[in-house]
Amino acid sequence: MNNQRNIIKIGFMFTITFLILSGCKRINIIDQLQIVTILGFSKEDDKYIGTALYTDYTEQKQGKVHTLQGEASTVELVLDDINSQSEKPIHIGKLMLLIVSEDIAKEDMSDIVKTICRDPLVGTNLIVAVSEIPPKEILNKIKEEGKGYLPALIEQNFISKNIPISNLHIFLFNYYGKGRDIAVPYLKLNQKGKVEINEYAVFKREKLGLILNEKEMVLYNILQDKSIGGQVAVNVRKDQFEDLAVLTILSGKIIESVSNPNTLPRISYNITLNGMVRDYPKWLDMRKKENNLLLDRQLEKRLKEDLKHLLLKFQEHNVDPLGVGDFIRAHSEEWNEEQFYETIYPTITFNVDINVVLSKSGIKQ
């Protein structure tokens, strides 16, 4: 009984001494931080230029957008340089968008991935993007507008327009995964001077491989099997008429299979698409059954051609955003990444079987 009391007393003393240790942890009180939401990197004469965009909520409730620019020879020192110009410490824990300019992407992305993307405090819903023009111009443009809306723009497009989804989680999986390559959104300013996201950048390891245009982006989305949707414009021909019809894809399913994985692999995609055609040419009367069948078959034929074309394009540029290498690795006994991409990948034959199921309705959602 007495012994127990002594133990409790000693335990108490220990606990109280821990209170003194409270000075060891640095506190980050939320209104004394500069929380950066967008970070942009570009390179000029061997030096990295970083632009940070943050919103200051202390003055007004809406928040005022500020940018800060720093330059240094490595990525980590850029953040230090930005810090030296700010009145509150810079924190990138809530970073939402990381823009990398095209020249860094063409050379070497690994520096930026090492420093920023692998920081444990950064959330995995960070969006990494490549931009055509230096990011500081884009960010200055946004500062003029007054709202840091750019991440919201990209996220909204993921959902409603069905651009292929990409965030840090998927990015790191593809970057470090064997047999996969990264693909990120490609930002640019359109003629009106507004930021637009219409294209997708596909990488080869850490260098920029190729840029997909709008239609190819939708096809890539279908092949990716994450959330199949989007709108494709397809050429439809009947007798002497030829015009565009727009297929709105509602949902879909894709089955990937491989045969003969070791020597001459043959990848087949079996795609089922449920969609409807809302915007069809005037000369095609949809009430007639034969026209429906015609439309269906033409859509299937065209999509099959376009998809095969895209896959061949990937093969040509030796990029692999779909993870074909990973898939084949799972089905074969010996697999070496270097060897695969040099010898086997160019010889793969792709086969696409597509079935479009049209649901007729006159009601627009």
Name beta bridge partners: 43.
Answer: 48
Residue 334 contacts another protein per CB under 8 A = no
Residue 91 contacts another protein per CB under 8 A = yes
CB nearer to another protein: pick between 28 and 262: 28
Radius of gyration of the chain (CA): 26
Residue 61 contacts another protein per CB under 8 A = yes
CA dist 273 and 293 (Å) reads 15
CA dist 328 and 273 (Å) reads 25
CB nearer to another protein: pick between 35 and 153: 35
Least Cα distance to 144 among 241, 221, 67, 49 occurs for 67
Considering only residues 21-40, where is the footprint of another protein by CB under 8 A? 22, 25, 27-31, 33, 35, 37
CB of 93 to another protein, least distance (A): 4
Residue 43 contacts another protein per CB under 8 A = no
CA dist 232 and 248 (Å) reads 7
Stretch that binds another protein, among 56-64, 180-188, 237-245, 256-264 (CB under 8 A): 56-64
- Among residues 52, 96, 187, 212, which is the contact residue for another protein, using CB under 8 A? 96
Q: Are the CB atoms for 105 and 154 separated by under 8 Å?
A: no
Q: Are the CB atoms for 206 and 113 separated by under 8 Å?
A: yes
Residue 89 contacts another protein per CB under 8 A = no
**Site pattern 111..150 for another protein (x: CB under 8 A):** ----------x-x---------------------------
Stretch that binds another protein, among 19-27, 197-205, 269-277, 348-356 (CB under 8 A): 19-27
CB of 121 to another protein, least distance (A): 6
Angle made by CA atoms 78, 83, 85, in degrees to the nearest 5: 105
Residue 338, C-beta contacts closer than 8 angstroms, at least 6 positions apart:
none
Residue 3 contacts another protein per CB under 8 A = no
Q: Are the CB atoms for 274 and 251 separated by under 8 Å?
A: yes
State the amino acid at position 147 in one-letter form: K
User: Which residues of this chain interact with another protein, rule CB under 8 A?
Assistant: 19, 22, 25, 27-31, 33, 35, 37, 55, 57-63, 91, 93-94, 96, 121, 123
